[in-house]
Structure 1
């Protein structure tokens, strides 16, 4: 099925909430996301409205939709400014993109949809005004080989940086990144 890949709109907070809650029920969720289903389910509608409204400016959430169907997947890219702190309270050394919240419904996995979503997110990141982003990174749990393989297929390579997993200090996350394409 052909999907339209586009940024989420502020009035689509209900659909964004539905997709996030679905993603948090996925068997890989405990090693893929930094929040739980229970935490998100307990949030009021105002939380979801604000979360989606923030997906403008230097944060953009891309979704895949087909007419008459629920959203098939989502990728969010945010800009981390040099000197700011990341999710691990580590100082960001360079202005860069960071891919988060990646989810594709099981029935759409293996169809190329993740690549389409990621391409939209990366195209947006490379097109931003201001100092150019030299790279876009993501963090993937050491025990999520399916995701690591998918990201490798999309051009992300391990950087060698290993971080403690925010939900369990005994586990590790591996940073992967893709560099700015020539001519962008």
Structure 2
């Protein structure tokens, strides 16, 4: 199956809302996302509009989607830019002195899993990160729940490795999330 991988447009907030709520209703959501369907489903439309417009601007964040020939949004990944010292600390995160791109909201509809779409989305998100002129991204990171074994395996295939940072899952503090990072190929860092 072929996909067009592209960034979202400012007026596509309804599609963003639909895909995000679908992701949060998926059985994997408890180990994949911190946001809950219940909370997100109660957001006013303006929240979705602002999120979409900010992402479409592509300055401090961007969202990539994979779209089928029929126009279905099959998957997504969001990239957040975290200039050094401004990342969201979790656990003992010593890497905040690096300009970082943080991948979040990774989701593929079940019928599109295993098709290569996730790799296409990650390739686009990572390429966008390396191409930023300011800040110059030194690493791309994400967090993976200890019970999300399939996702961690996929991230490892892309070159991500666990760093020394970990944190309790805010929804289930007895469970752990691990940071994984991909250093800049031309001299970036990982800690």
| Matched ranges for 1:121-140 at <5 A | 121-140=125-144
Pair 1:137–1:183, CA change in 2 (3 A)? closer
- Tell me which of 96, 102, 106 is aligned to 1:98: 102
TM-score (norm 2): 0.90
Structure 2 partner of 1:41: 41
- The worse-fitting range, judged by mean Cα deviation, of 76-85 and 43-52 is 76-85
Q: Indicate the residue corresponding to 1:162 in structure 2.
A: 166
User: What's the counterpart of residue 116 of structure 2?
Assistant: 112
Once the two structures are TM-superposed, the CA of residue 66 in structure 1 deviates from its matched residue by 1.7
The 1-side partners of 2:50 and 2:90 are apart by: 23
Question: Equivalents in 2 of 1:112, 1:85: separation in Å?
Answer: 30
TM-aligned CA distance change 1:139 to 1:53, over 3 Å = same
Contact 1:6 1:62 in 2 (8 A): yes
TM-score normalised to structure 1 length:
0.94
Deviation string 1:63-96 (CA, Å, 9 cap, x unpaired) is 0002323200001111111121406496822111
- Secondary structure of the residue aligned to 1:117 is helix
Cα RMSD of the aligned pairs, angstroms, is: 1.8
Look up the SS of the partner of 1:11 in the other structure. coil
User: Would the aligned equivalents of 2:143 and 2:180 in 1 still touch at CA under 8 Å?
Assistant: yes
Structure 1 residues without counterparts, runs of 5 or longer: none
Q: Which residue of 2 aligns with 1:172?
A: 176
In structure 2, C-alpha distance between the alignment counterparts of 1:84 and 1:116, rounded to whole Å: 28
* Count of matched residue positions in the alignment of Structure 1 and Structure 2: 184
Query: What SS class does the counterpart of residue 40 from structure 1 fall into?
Result: helix
Unaligned runs of 5+ in 2: none
Q: Which deviates the most, 141-150 or 90-99?
A: 90-99
Q: CA deviation at 1:180?
A: 1.0
Do the aligned residues in 2 keep the contact of 1:88 with 1:166 (CA within 8 Å)?
Answer: no
Any conservation in 1 of the 2:83–2:135 contact (CA below 8 Å)? no
Does the Cα contact within 8 Å between 2:2 and 2:69 map onto a contact in 1?
Answer: no
Q: Which moved more, 1:157-166 or 1:38-47?
A: 157-166
Given the superposition, is the C-alpha separation of residues 87 and 65 from structure 1 closer, same or farther in structure 2, using an over 3 Å criterion?
farther
